[in-house]
Amino acid sequence: MSLATVYRNIVLIKSLGEVLELGFPEWSNRYDGNNPANHPHVICIKCKKIVDPDLDILDEMKKEVVLETDFKILNHRLDFFGICSDCMAEKV
């Protein structure tokens, strides 16, 4: 399978709303198919592991942003960067 075929399929799957593309300037893009709706991510800066925390407060934050800014929010992204417990446990 060619790389062009892979990219065409990714574009198609994204357009169907089946995956969420996570673009990172420092790294290559990642794709989240577990939960294609907008949700927060916690990303390890060492091993690049991504965890999807379940934050009930996110809906309240969105409402507060709307009230504060008078914007109609169409999309959002919330990422937290840190070092995961596996990487912290490694001896350097």
Q: What is the pLDDT of residues 14-35, one digit of tens each?
A: 888 777 777 777 777 777 776 6
pLDDT, position 57: 87
Per-residue pLDDT at 36 = 63
pTM, two decimal places:
0.67
CA distance readout (Å), 72 to 17, 40, 82, 91: 21, 19, 30, 47
Q: Give the domains, in start order, of the chain with CATH numbers.
A: 1-36 (no CATH), 38-92 (3.30.1490.190)
pLDDT confidence of residue 35: 62
Neighbour tally for 91: CB within 10 Å: 3
Q: Which residues of the chain have pLDDT under 50?
A: none
